[in-house]
Amino acid sequence: MKNFISNKKNLIICLMILIMIFMGTASASSIHKVEDYKNQIKLVRENLSNYTEESNDKIKELEKKLTNFERVKAKYEDDIAEKENKLQTLQAKLDSLEDQSIKIKELNNQVESLKSENVSLKDQNNNVANESSKTKEETSSNNSESSTTVHITNTGSKYHNAGCRYLSRSDIMVTFSEAKSRGLSPCSVCH
């Protein structure tokens, strides 16, 4: 019985040794696998870091492009604002020119109406001058006629200058207008 136990002990020890050896190889293969995994992880990490660096580079490049683009955009916006200002200034100038043109037209109209007024005033002036000269002529002729004296007879239908032979019977001095008002006509001998 003791032998059996000691045999069994031996057997268990043998088994234990066997198990330990097996475990050792198993763990050795496990260690290899772990190494493999570690290497793979290392590779993945390297790839990942490479990829990340590339991505960062690309991101930096894109950010640069974006900055440039924003700069260009700002410049264009400035240009556009400047051009809009110029456009507004030009529009204002155009408006004031149109105002001036309207004023000039109004002034031209005023000048035209003043010219026509001037012409009609000149006409009126001429008329007045003509009328006044006519009146003067009439007045002077009237004056000369009324102040001139003629000679008439008692019965004759003519009026005479002094010394006419028809004045031998009667010789009456009257004004020319008096003779006219009597309906007398000039004598054909003395006139």
| Interacting residues with Zn ion (CB under 5 A) | 160, 164, 166, 187, 189-190
The CB-of-143 to Zn ion minimum distance in angstroms stands at: 24
Task: At 34, list the tokens.
Answer: 């772990």
Task: At 54, list the tokens.
Answer: 């590339």
Comparing CB distances to Zn ion, the nearer of 52 and 170 is 170
Q: What is the 3-state secondary structure (H, E, C) of 10-52?
A: HHHHHHHHHHHHHHHHHHHHHHHHHHHHHHHHHHHHHHHHHHH
On whether the CB atoms of residues 147 and 170 are closer than 8 A, the answer is no
Q: Which residues contact 177 (CB under 8 A, 6 or more apart)?
A: 145, 146
The CB-of-156 to Zn ion minimum distance in angstroms stands at: 9
Place of tokens 């002077």: 140
The CB-of-174 to Zn ion minimum distance in angstroms stands at: 14
Comparing CB distances to Zn ion, the nearer of 74 and 162 is 162
The amino acid that residue 31 corresponds to is: I
Comparing CB distances to Zn ion, the nearer of 172 and 189 is 189
Comparing CB distances to Zn ion, the nearer of 94 and 173 is 173
- Centre a 10 Å sphere on the Cβ of residue 159 and count the other Cβ atoms it contains: 25
Distance CA 63, CA 69 (A): 10
The CB-of-154 to Zn ion minimum distance in angstroms stands at: 14
The CB-of-180 to Zn ion minimum distance in angstroms stands at: 16
The CB-of-123 to Zn ion minimum distance in angstroms stands at: 47
Comparing CB distances to Zn ion, the nearer of 179 and 187 is 187
On whether the CB atoms of residues 153 and 179 are closer than 8 A, the answer is no
Distance CA 61, CA 82 (A): 31
Comparing CB distances to Zn ion, the nearer of 31 and 189 is 189
